[in-house]
Amino acid sequence: MKVGVIGSGAMGTGIAQVAAMASCVVVVYDNNLSALDKSKASLDATFAKLEGKGKLPDAKAVMARLSFTNSLSGLADCALVIEAIVEHLEVKKQLFASLEAQVGEGCILATNTSSLSVTAIAAACVKPERVLGLHFFNPPPLMALVEVVPAIQTSPEVAKLANQIMMDWGKTPVIAKDTPGFIVNRVARPFYGEALRIYEEGIADIATIDWAMTTFGGYRMGPFTLMDYIGHDVNYVVTETVFTSFFFDPRYKPSFSQKRLLEAGWLGRKSGKGFYDYSSPEPQKTAIEDAALGLEIVDRINAMLINEAVDALYLKVATAADLELAMTKGVNYPQGLLALADSWGVARVLTVLDELYRKYGEDRYRASALLRRAASEGATILN
Ligand code: NAI
């Protein structure tokens, strides 16, 4: 199968690697020659390293399946093209319109957008039924999850075929409705947002919240460590985009503490400073290790995460099974949030949320109708 990858940056290079390692012939297109050179050099080095470790029998053979071009016509006979250029709707629409003139009738056109409407991108094409979202996670070769996002115009056959191709590439595809943040970037919002809120209220400091979430929540990283790791330029912008795209639903409201870090250029680990200071080898983190406080923090953030997942299920953003897969494979949560709801008992989750709602009187804390219904019926979320 011949695959085109458009954009040879971080994501495009990773996607090209995945496709080439899955035996596809891959053409990488970028309008910037130095980006193409960098991508080629990086893939060369990656394959050589994998061969050295005994994880790839023949690096040269894989590299021989890849070619690099700065002309769109190079993508002419591809069966699938995946776009991973700059996150800008008008630029993507323009590209899709020109791309469609170059490829054959049967070619599937996919976008790796993380925050734009796939439907809006598809609308730029004469045959929007062949367009869908294939949202990989960073870095694509290591992250198994791919969110398959049919636009409202996408034909079921195209979605099914793309899903099968992802499985053939060894990925774990989940189907997400074309709604802001798809699954992961929507459901994970409270992990950051509620932690920031607790911090801003002065209930606990960042080190204590991180300690609580790793110690009692079982998360690999606390929210502040993770935000510093992702970078505030990325994490804040995702939050703001999701908030705006949801017509300013207060559940997704961004935080000023994080916005200020971004404005100061304190982007996290990559800039040497974020919530923590990375100028010394081991950033100073002194948590107040109070178990009662820690459990209260975890209950509050987990209740908000569960609510988000249950509401996504209620609004048919994805199936229960795909919601669970997405959060465990996409962001490595210790368990699916719907399973967590059932292990807590939905009544207890509802009590935590209703208590927050009573305390603050903010719509942010409204419980999902599905959670309320399950609690009143004594039902579980998963069957
Ligand atoms: P990047 O900035 O590393 O790479 C973008 C590449 O696209 C550059 O090489 C640039 O020269 C090229 N490009 C820009 N405009 C172009 C055009 N009109 N025609 C051809 N090439 C063009 O960006 P990155 O991080 O790889 O992201 C790409 C896409 O993937 C974005 O839509 C982003 O939202 C999405 N994404 C990013 C993730 C991440 O963690 N970085 C995760 C999942 C999705």
Catalytic (active site) residue 34: no
Domain that holds residue 248: 186-254+286-377
Based on the fold, state whether residues 126 and 33 are members of the same structural domain.
yes
Last residue of a domain, one of 151, 175, 199: 175
Residue 125 in any domain: the answer is yes
The closest-lying atom of ligand 1 relative to the alpha carbon of residue 92 is 18
**In the predicted model, what is the mean pLDDT of residues 347-351?**
98
Is residue 91 within 6 Å of ligand 1 at its C-beta? yes
Task: Using the predicted structure, report yes or no on whether residue 127 has a pLDDT greater than 90.
Answer: yes
Q: What is the pLDDT of residue 280?
A: 81
Provide the pLDDT confidence category of residue 2 given band limits of 50, 70 and 90.
Answer: very high
Q: How far apart are CA 352 and CA 364, in angstroms?
A: 13
Last residue of a domain, one of 175, 199, 215: 175
Is residue 32 within 6 Å of ligand 1 at its C-beta? yes
Based on the fold, state whether residues 152 and 239 are members of the same structural domain.
no
279/196: higher pLDDT: 196
Based on the fold, state whether residues 162 and 201 are members of the same structural domain.
no
Question: What are the pLDDT digits (tens) for 267-297?
Answer: 999 999 999 999 887 767 789 999 999 999 9
Based on the fold, state whether residues 191 and 162 are members of the same structural domain.
no
Q: What is the pLDDT of residue 39?
A: 98
- Domain count for the chain: 2
Pairing of strands 131-136, 145-150: antiparallel
**In the predicted model, what is the mean pLDDT of residues 333-350?**
97
Is residue 11 within 6 Å of ligand 1 at its C-beta? yes
Last residue of a domain, one of 175, 210, 240: 175
Residue 273 in any domain: the answer is no
Q: What is the pLDDT of residue 283?
A: 63
Catalytic (active site) residue 147: yes
Catalytic (active site) residue 185: yes
Per the confidence metrics, is the pTM higher than 0.85? yes
3-state SS record for 17-51 = HHHHHCCCEEEEECCCHHHHHHHHHHHHHHHHHHH
* Ligand 1 centroid, distance to 367 Cα (angstroms): 36
Q: What is the pLDDT of residue 3?
A: 98
Q: Please state, rounded to an integer, the average pLDDT across all residues of the chain.
A: 96
Q: Which percentage of the chain shows pLDDT scores above 70?
A: 100
Catalytic (active site) residue 377: no
- The token duo for 323 is 């919601």
Task: Using the predicted structure, report yes or no on whether residue 345 has a pLDDT greater than 70.
Answer: yes
Residue 19 in any domain: the answer is yes
Based on the fold, state whether residues 227 and 334 are members of the same structural domain.
yes
* Ligand 1 centroid, distance to 241 Cα (angstroms): 17
- Return the DSSP state at 226: H
Residue 155 in any domain: the answer is yes
Catalytic residue among 185, 235, 255, 307: 185
The closest-lying atom of ligand 1 relative to the alpha carbon of residue 87 is 32
Is residue 121 within 6 Å of ligand 1 at its C-beta? no
- The token duo for 363 is 């719509």
**In the predicted model, what is the mean pLDDT of residues 75-82?**
97
3-state SS record for 260-322 = HHHHHCCCEHHHCECCCECCCCCCCCCCCCCHHHHHHHHHHHHHHHHHHHHHHHHCCCCCHHH
Domain with 244 in it: what CATH number?
1.10.1040.50
Provide the pLDDT confidence category of residue 361 given band limits of 50, 70 and 90.
Answer: very high
Question: What are the pLDDT digits (tens) for 17-70?
Answer: 999 999 999 999 999 999 999 999 999 999 999 999 999 999 999 999 999 999
CB 31 within 8 A of CB 70: yes
**In the predicted model, what is the mean pLDDT of residues 202-215?**
97
Q: What is the pLDDT of residue 75?
A: 97
Based on the fold, state whether residues 157 and 197 are members of the same structural domain.
no
Cis peptide bond prior to 140, omega within 30° of 0: no
Q: Which of 86, 88, 227 to mutate to test the pocket of ligand 1 (most atoms within 8 A of CB)?
A: 86
Residue 280 in any domain: the answer is no
